[in-house]
């Protein structure tokens, strides 16, 4: 083991480098990144649009110094040759060949640009890179109306951000409810109501027919209605960047991501994949999934880096634990939604409660809505969804650990916890929901 090459140096790549470094102090590591900067924080771009983060430059960082790790930015990998274990590079100066003993593919993903007429008009943007974010910010002053196509996390965060900047904003979601991969339809109601209360128009089950305008976008047609828009954000998701892998003969999974086993190995020896470009699996359904979150990239990258450097690590799978926000609401979830559970053949049983975050007599108590889902045989927790003004994310993390450790709802109801009136109530939302679910299961 002399040389590890990492293609793509974002969350997965950098964590892989760090884990490889920890595993094997002697191996040389080269990371190539086609962007001119090493690290950026895409998840914070909505905060920059909103104005909370003042300078988009704050979201770009130099690569952390790690001994014997060379990070080559503005360097694109153009080919992988598994037979002679080389990677072809296109650099500013020309082309180059790099030999590897282990290769980690962490090429990430690209924003999907859906095939809608008018998608190339000026004023129509996807939202993934720093450049996308900056382009949107540059147009805020010029636009009065914005349409966000897609009501997932990024879509909602972007819509709320633009609304906070004074624009009239509409969200157009093709599916019948917002945040479809994250929340059940009964849970997402609160979110939709909050967005609408704040003045965002939400169109559900609505398809964008056409984006209209001459050079610049003027409106978005959704069939019956035409929504004025000088700014359009296409936030319909990301697709794994797998061209390099596919061309090298590496197997692509049914989800469109690079197929990996539990060691993050691809179909070709000594080639690993991690992050948005890689297919992961759900430990609940045991089915392959795409889990395109920074946290998944970090968790997979750690495994890939360890194994690429000669260590031994296995990946526990992805629970898609995620949190998003809008107007002070924290919206968090982990595990499978009811729909996903049913599709996987479970007969899930859920309970939903709405309690006060603090004791009812305490000033500033706010509601927190919690839903927990179990499978009906052993009552193991398989999903959790929480919406509140604070503490939703940490409660989702607790439920993620509960799923990982195959915790039953009865065990959760018996769990120890802390209480102090200024902070929380003497029986918290997770225990209340667990008790409710247990009664339902009787």
Measured from the CB of residue 220, what is the shortest distance to its own copies in angstroms?
27
Do residues 205 and 193 make contact, with C-beta atoms less than 8 angstroms apart?
no
Q: What is the pattern of x (binds its own copies, CB under 8 A) and - over residues 148-187?
A: -----x----------------------------------
Residue numbers 22-41 binding its own copies by CB under 8 A: 22, 41
Nearer to its own copies, 82 or 283 (CB): 283
Asked if 52 touches its own copies (CB under 8 A), the answer is yes
Contacts of 420 (CB under 8 A, 6+ apart): none
202: which strand partners?
A: 171
Nearer to its own copies, 58 or 120 (CB): 58
What DSSP string runs through 155-220?
Answer: HHHHHHHHHHTT-EEEEE-SSSSSSTTTS-HHHHHHHHHHHHHTT-EEE-S----EEEESSBEEEE
Nearer to its own copies, 21 or 34 (CB): 21
For residue 159, give the nearest of 196, 134, 131 by alpha carbon. Answer: 196
State the sign of the Cα–Cα–Cα–Cα dihedral 257, 259, 264, 267.
negative
Please calculate the CA angle 271-276-280 and round it to the nearest 5 degrees. Answer: 70
Catalytic residue, from 43, 153, 277, 426: name it. Answer: 43
**C-alpha torsion 316→318→321→326, nearest 10:** 150
Using the contact rule CB under 8 A, the part of the chain among 223-231, 241-249, 340-348, 411-419 near its own copies is: 411-419
* Residue 268, number of CB atoms within 10 A of its CB: 17
Q: How many CA atoms lie within 13 A of 108 on its CB side?
A: 20
Whole-angstrom distance, CA of residue 54 vs CA of residue 37: 19
Asked if 86 touches its own copies (CB under 8 A), the answer is no
Asked if 9 touches its own copies (CB under 8 A), the answer is no
Helix (H) or strand (E) holding 368: strand 367-374
* Token output for 198: 């704040």
Residue numbers 246-305 binding its own copies by CB under 8 A: 293-296, 298-299
Nearer to its own copies, 107 or 296 (CB): 296
Asked if 353 touches its own copies (CB under 8 A), the answer is no
Measured from the CB of residue 150, what is the shortest distance to its own copies in angstroms?
17
43 is catalytic: yes
Asked if 441 touches its own copies (CB under 8 A), the answer is no
Q: What is the pattern of x (binds its own copies, CB under 8 A) and - over residues 354-373?
A: -----x-xxx----------
Residue numbers 314-333 binding its own copies by CB under 8 A: 316, 318-325, 330, 332-333
Helix (H) or strand (E) holding 146: strand 145-149
Asked if 68 touches its own copies (CB under 8 A), the answer is no
Measured from the CB of residue 134, what is the shortest distance to its own copies in angstroms?
16
Measured from the CB of residue 354, what is the shortest distance to its own copies in angstroms?
18
Whole-angstrom distance, CA of residue 282 vs CA of residue 298: 16
Among 70, 421, 440, 441, binds its own copies (CB under 8 A): 421
Instruction: Kindly give the pairing relationship between strand 94-99 and strand 86-91.
Output: antiparallel
Using the contact rule CB under 8 A, the part of the chain among 64-72, 195-203, 221-229, 387-395 near its own copies is: 387-395
Helix (H) or strand (E) holding 350: strand 349-356
Size of interface with its own copies, in residues (CB under 8 A): 67
Residues that bind its own copies (CB under 8 A): 11, 22, 41, 43-44, 47, 52-53, 58-59, 153, 293-296, 298-299, 316, 318-325, 330, 332-334, 359, 361-363, 390-391, 393-398, 400-405, 407, 411-412, 414-424, 426-428, 430, 439
The residues carrying an active-site annotation are 43
């Amino acid at each position: 083991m002399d040389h590890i090459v990492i293609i793509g140096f974002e969350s997965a790549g950098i964590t892989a480098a760090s884990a490889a470094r920890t595993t094997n102090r002697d191996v040389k590591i080269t990371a190539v990144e086609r962007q001119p900067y090493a690290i950026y924080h895409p998840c914070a771009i909505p905060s920059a649009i909103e104005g909370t983060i003042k300078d988009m430059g704050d979201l770009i960082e130099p690569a952390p110094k790690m001994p014997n790790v060379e990070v080559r930015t503005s360097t694109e990998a153009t080919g992988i040759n598994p037979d002679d274990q080389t990677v072809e590079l296109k650099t500013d100066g020309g082309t180059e060949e790099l030999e590897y003993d282990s290769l980690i593919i962490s090429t990430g993903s690209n924003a999907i640009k859906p095939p809608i007429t008018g998608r190339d008009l000026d004023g129509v943007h996807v939202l993934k890179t720093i450049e996308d974010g900056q382009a949107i910010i540059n147009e805020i002053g010029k636009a009065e109306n914005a349409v966000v196509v897609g009501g997932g996390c990024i879509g909602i965060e972007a819509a709320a951000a633009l609304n906070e900047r004074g624009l009239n904003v509409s969200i157009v979601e093709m599916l019948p409810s917002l945040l479809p991969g994250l929340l059940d339809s009964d849970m997402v109601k609160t979110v939709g109501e909050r967005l609408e209360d704040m003045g965002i128009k939400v169109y559900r089950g609505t398809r964008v027919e056409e984006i209209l305008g001459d050079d610049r976008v003027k409106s978005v047609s959704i069939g019956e209605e035409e929504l004025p828009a000088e700014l359009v954000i296409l936030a319909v998701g990301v697709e794994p960047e797998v061209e390099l892998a596919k061309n090298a003969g590496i197997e692509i999974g049914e989800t469109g991501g690079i197929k990996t086993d539990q060691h993050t190995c691809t179909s070709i020896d000594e080639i690993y994949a991690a992050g948005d470009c890689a297919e992961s699996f759900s430990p609940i359904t045991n089915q392959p999934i795409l889990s395109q979150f920074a946290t998944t990239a970090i968790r997979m990258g750690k495994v890939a880096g360890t194994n690429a450097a000669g260590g031994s690590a296995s990946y526990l799978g992805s629970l898609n634990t995620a949190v998003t926000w809008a107007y002070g609401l924290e919206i968090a979830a982990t595990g499978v939604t009811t729909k996903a559970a049913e599709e996987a053949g479970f007969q899930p049983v859920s309970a939903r409660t709405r309690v006060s975050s603090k004791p009812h007599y305490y000033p500033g108590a706010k509601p927190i809505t919690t839903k927990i889902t179990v499978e009906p045989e052993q009552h193991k927790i398989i999903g959790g969804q929480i919406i509140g003004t604070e503490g939703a994310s940490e409660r989702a993390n607790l439920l993620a650990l509960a799923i990982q450790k195959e915790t039953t709802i009865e065990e959760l109801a018996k769990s120890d916890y802390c209480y102090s009136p200024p902070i929380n109530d003497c029986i918290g939302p997770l225990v209340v929901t667990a008790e409710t679910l247990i009664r339902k299961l009787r």
